[in-house]
A and B are shown apart, each in its own frame.
Chain A
Amino acid sequence: DVKVTQSSRYLVKRTGEKVFLECVQDMDHENMFWYRQDPGLGLRLIYFSYDVKMKEKGDIPEGYSVSREKKERFSLILESASTNQTSMYLCASLTQGATDTQYFGPGTRLTVL
């Protein structure tokens, strides 16, 4: 079974703080993704990575950066958190094959005060 874990289920931070969200997968997948989920908007892609140290912007990268130093770990960084970054953050890892299915972690609900 694919296992994707995220460092926190709930996180509360203050405006201006630097925030790290960590995601780890145990299946040696090359592709990993960060989404944010907001009511009525579905999931929107922030960044993705297709290999170690490789990254590409998704649809809404502004205010975020990422780091992929090891294959199993993909970190999302909020350099200076703002209240409009209060959201649910979901990490996914891709199993490549006939269907190329993304498997998700449990999510981190971030509140920025």
Chain B
Amino acid sequence: AQKITQTQPGMFVQEKEAVTLDCTYDTSDPSYGLFWYKQPSSGEMIFLIYQGSYDQQNATEGRYSLNFQKARKSANLVISASQLGDSAMYFCAMREGHGSARQLTFGSGTQLTVLP
């Protein structure tokens, strides 16, 4: 079974509107972390936001927020007030437990296009 599922291969949003990118995960480990990365066409993976499994509140970083619903095992990324520069591929990733090397498992990504 997929550990990280991103069901939206592509999304479009109008500039200045909000958009939600979906991510569901599968783990039996009570301790895990969830990450979102942005990959522009240049190729570099840029860390956006982190949510720990024990965090009581949803994570926020500027225009990015993470809608964490633990019982549903979902960790959707919300981007408010979209900008043209937000057009990129977005990846959800998970780290399980407290392994020595902190490996990440990635979803297949969502290509977001912001329309002017």
Contact call B47/A56, Cβ cutoff below 8 A: no
CB-CB contacts below 8 Å: A64-109 with B: 88, 90, 92, 94, 96, 98-107, 109
Contact call A96/B44, Cβ cutoff below 8 A: no
A33 CA / B104 CA spacing, docked (Å) = 10
* Interface 0/1 of B17-30, CB less than 8 Å to A: 00000000000000
Contact call A50/B108, Cβ cutoff below 8 A: no
Contact call B109/A102, Cβ cutoff below 8 A: no
Task: Contacts A42-B107, A43-B91 given; indicate if A50 touches B100 (C-beta within 8 A).
Answer: yes
Contact call A40/B108, Cβ cutoff below 8 A: yes
Instruction: Report which of B45, B52, B101, B103 forms a contact with A104, defined as CB distance below 8 A.
Output: B45
Contact call A103/B107, Cβ cutoff below 8 A: no
Interface residues on B, range: 20 to 34
Is residue B56 within 8 Å, beta carbon to beta carbon, of the partner chain? Answer: no
Interface size counted on chain A using CB atoms at 8 A: 31
In the complex, chain A residues whose CB is within 8 Å of the CB of B4: 42
A101 and chain B: residue at smallest CB distance: B47
Cβ distance B31 to chain A, nearest Cβ, rounded Å: 11
Q: How many A-B residue pairs have CB under 8 A?
A: 66
* Interface 0/1 of B66-97, CB less than 8 Å to A: 00000000000000000000000001010100
Contact call B33/A99, Cβ cutoff below 8 A: yes
A92 CA / B89 CA spacing, docked (Å) = 18
In the complex, chain B residues whose CB is within 8 Å of the CB of A61: none
A77 CA / B103 CA spacing, docked (Å) = 20
In the complex, chain B residues whose CB is within 8 Å of the CB of A50: 100-101
Is residue A52 within 8 Å, beta carbon to beta carbon, of the partner chain? Answer: no
In the complex, chain B residues whose CB is within 8 Å of the CB of A12: none
* Interface 0/1 of B36-80, CB less than 8 Å to A: 010000111111001010000000000000000000000000000
Interface residues of A (CB under 8 A from B): 9, 31, 33, 35, 40-45, 48-50, 56, 58, 88, 90, 92, 94, 96, 98-107, 109
By Cβ-Cβ distance, the 5 closest A-B pairs, closest first, are A104-B45, A42-B106, A107-B43, A43-B106, A99-B50
